[in-house]
Structure 1
Amino acid sequence: MGVAQEKVQPVPEENKQLRWLGGVAFTFLLAAVGFVVSQIPGLTYVGQLGCAIIIAIIYRQIFGYPEMLRAGITFSAKKLLRLAIILYGLRLNIGIVLSDGIGLLFKDAIIIAVAILLMVWIAKAMKADANISLLLGVGTGVCGAAAIAAVAPIVKANDDETAIGVGIIALMGTIFSIVYTIIRPILPFSAEDYGIWSGMSLHELAHVALAAAPAGQDALAMALLAKLGRVFLLVPLCFVLIYFMKRRQASKLGEEKTKIAFPYFLLGFIAMSLFGSFVLGNAIPVSEEMLEGVYTFTTWLLTAAMVGLGLSVSLKEVKNKAMLPLIAMTIVSLVVSVVAVVLV
């Protein structure tokens, strides 16, 4: 007689739901820890998102991945991330960009092209990880973590690569924004020109605000206008990347038609941009406090999602993948700053 095999008991549905809820709650808990840590003097420059993803990566290295909570953590990293990007569209006022910033759009397009093409070229020359380098090029050229999250599924980047890209962007953007603030008094710029330079060259929206605010409201307004132009160009950039990814895969497979997953959440991003630009404040009155509340909620969603990504990073596995892209991005960020000076 054969040995009777032990039956595997299925996990009760209630336990699955509790684990899912616990996983989502855990990502928000680490997001909250990141918020508290970001209030420490000196770490305010890093910001909640940067602190949270670093904490998540450190947690993974010390305690390992919390497998029981995987379903909820994955939900945060995937679904909440897409929701955050959709809501991020409310920050983009298309009307202002097209009416006041149309001239800046052309300059922003140059910045994006320089950042991505130079990053890809340097990474290839250095034999750096291609996916991480491309994500960093997009993040540097467009709008940091949100841009990286938007293009990651298009270029088929995995969670490790996405999290590393976001972490490096947070670090580099923080360093550059602090340097901008320090050297601002000695630059031969008017307040408005300094704002445009910051908006065209810094990585995250928060970094732009951090660097431009000390120069006054006019500088901050121009900086945000220049930055929003880069955010505006995220959507056409995604379509360009989809086109080139299809061509590259078709050439590899020898097929004319190759499926690339379309990031449908970008349609939500566009819809929210249109809604925020032409409906909110016009057909639907809304207070600044309410908008700020939505922006804060979006930041928490994005931070929880980045925690989910950060928990998937094993430094033992990726330590050799991150250093060369970091060096390449440092060079590209410096070049982008110089090019932005010329364009101003």
Structure 2
Amino acid sequence: MSKNLFFAGLIFAASGLLSPPLALAAGLAFGFTFEHPYHLDAKRLSKLLLQVSVVGLGFGMNLQQVLRVGRSGLIYTAAGITFAMLLGWALGKLLAVKGRISFLISAGTAICGGSAIAAVAPVANATEEEIAVSLGTVFALNSVALLVFPAIGTALHMTQTQFGLWSALAIHDTSSVVGASAKFGAVALAVGTTVKLARALWIVPMSVGTALVQKSKAKIQWPWFILFFCLASVANTYVGVFQPAYSVLRHLGILGLTVTLFLIGTGISKRTIREVGVRPMLQGILLWAVVATGSLALIRAGWISL
């Protein structure tokens, strides 16, 4: 029965009948109710599909807008990452969370969730258990953000630009940023995706810095999909003859994102929550709460804007 329901969920997500938040909710319902029949395969597929989907969304972006937003968001991104890493370190010490787990949760919150954790974990010499705990914490909070952020943005009458910027600075994973901002509007999606991808570029210096500190020889994972996202934006901006094809590719990117969110949801179960434990989860919640509320307050006050 679980296999049939899993494939039914995939079909519904890929058909476009489910919005990204509903796809995630359906995945979570499955993960909390049934034993996942294809846990490892779904995890690998969601990682690849996320990257491909982001490239597809690039065909709906204007390069000039991408560059403008990217330059404007660079300072906020750098300051936000520095603040999140320092606060995460302090909270980890206060709550007596194991060093590598604390570092991975901080990196995931500061940069781009699971992608950052996956990139820095090998160079930090993290164990499978430490990676699993960190990913579980980030994915659980991602699910909450995707469902809650649009409601908060609507209640506070935020502009689409404000909401896109807030999502990019305060939500962990790229998939959840895209899902939340897409629900809020096209401008929010453009701003959120661009600033988030600019933030994701910090995976590289973070990985290099970690390798130097740890004296690790592990291979650094480069976020190549960001380059292809930029190339897709270039094509959409300057090679207009293929515009009908770009619209199709962008739509496929949205469908791919919806499927990705369903797959991520199915990977979160009661066992995942239990394995995370109280202290790492508390560190992740407190760190995320400070980052989210602090960035929201600064955006609302006009201190952070594009």
Relative to the length of structure 2, the TM-score reads 0.72
Q: Counterpart of 1:293? A: 252
Partner of 2:27: 52
Aligned to 1:74: 40
CA drift at 1:35 = 9.4
Q: 1:144 deviation in Å?
A: 5.1
One-letter amino acid of the structure 1 residue matched with residue 39 of structure 2: I
Task: Quote the Cα distance in structure 2 between the aligned partners of 1:336 and 1:133.
Answer: 22
Residue type of the alignment partner of 1:59: F
1:205/1:227 contact within 8 Å kept: yes
CA contact (8 A) 1:46 1:174 kept: yes
Query: What are the residue-to-residue correspondences of 1:59-208 with 2, within 5 Å?
Result: 59-60=34-35, 69=37, 72-92=38-58, 93=61, 95=63, 96-99=65-68, 101-128=70-97, 133-143=102-112, 156=126, 157-184=130-157, 191=159, 194-195=162-163, 197-203=165-171, 204-208=177-181
2:286 alignment partner in structure 1: 327
- In 2, the alpha carbon distance for the partners of 1:322 and 1:172 equals 15
Rate the CA distance shift 1:339–1:152 in 2: closer, same or farther, 3 A: farther
The one-letter code matched in structure 2 to 1:273 is: F
Report the CA distance between 1:75 and its aligned residue: 2.4
1:56 and 1:311 in contact (8 A); partners too:
yes
Between stretches 85-94 and 291-300, larger displacement belongs to: 85-94
Q: 1-side partners of 2:76 and 2:263: how far apart? A: 33
Secondary structure in structure 2 of the residue aligned to 1:261: coil
Shift of residue 234, structure 1, vs aligned partner? 0.8
Shift of 1:180: 2.6
Change (3 A) 1:328 1:226: closer
C-alpha separation between the residues in 1 aligned to 2:137 and 2:52?
A: 22
Residue 323 of structure 1 aligns to which amino acid in structure 2?
L
SS of the equivalent of 2:217 reads coil
CA 1:241–1:24 in 2, change beyond 3 Å: closer, same or farther? farther
Q: What is the RMSD computed on CA atoms of the aligned residues?
A: 4.0
Does structure 1 residue 276 correspond to structure 2 residue 232? Answer: yes
* Contact 1:120 1:133 survives alignment (8 Å): yes
Structure 2 residue aligned with 1:232: 198
Q: 1:7 maps to which residue? A: none
Q: Which amino acid counterpart does residue 262 of structure 1 have in structure 2?
A: I
Contact 2:123 2:207 (8 Å CA) reproduced: yes
Superposed displacement of residue 178, structure 1? 1.9
Distance 2:207 2:262 in 1: 26
Establish whether residue 248 from structure 1 lines up as the match of residue 197 from structure 2. Answer: no
Q: Structure 2, unaligned stretches of length 5 or more?
A: 172-176
Deviations 1:316-337 (A, max 9, x none): 4333242342233223322232
**Quick one: which amino acid aligns to residue 317 of structure 1?**
E
Deviation at 1:170, TM superposition (A): 1.8
Alpha-carbon distance in structure 1 between the residues aligned to 2:123 and 2:33: 28
CA contact (8 A) 1:129 1:325 kept: no
> Contact (CA 8 Å) 2:27, 2:262: kept in 1 or not?
yes
Q: Contact 1:84/1:298 (CA < 8 Å) preserved in 2?
A: yes
Deviations along 1:159-181, whole A, 9 cap, x unmatched?
34313311212214533432232
Contact 2:14-2:258 at 8 Å conserved across structures? no
Distance (whole Å) between structure 2 residues aligned to residue 78 and residue 104 of structure 1: 31
The one-letter amino acid paired with 2:196 is: R
The normalised TM-score by structure 1 is: 0.65
In structure 1, the gaps of 5 or more residues are: 1-21, 61-65, 214-219, 251-257
Give 3-state SS (helix, strand or coil) of 2:34's partner: helix
Asked if the contact 1:123–1:133 (Cα under 8 Å) also holds between the matched residues in 2, the reply is yes
CA distance in 2, matches of 1:197, 1:274: 19
After superposition, the Cα gap between the structure-2 partners of 1:197 and 1:315, relative to the gap in structure 1 and judged at 3 Å, is closer
Q: Percent identity?
A: 14
Q: Which has the larger radius of gyration?
A: 1
Aligned residue in 2 for 1:261? 219
Aligned equivalent of 2:174: none
- Contact 2:84–2:110 (CA<8 Å) still a contact in 1? yes
Q: Distance in 2 between matches of 1:47 and 1:291?
A: 20
What CA distance in whole angstroms lies between the structure 2 residues aligned with 1:33 and 1:152?
Answer: 34
Question: Which residue in 1 is equivalent to 2:304?
Answer: 343
1:18-50 deviation digits (Å, cap 9, x = unpaired): xxxx999875555568899x96xxxx7954225
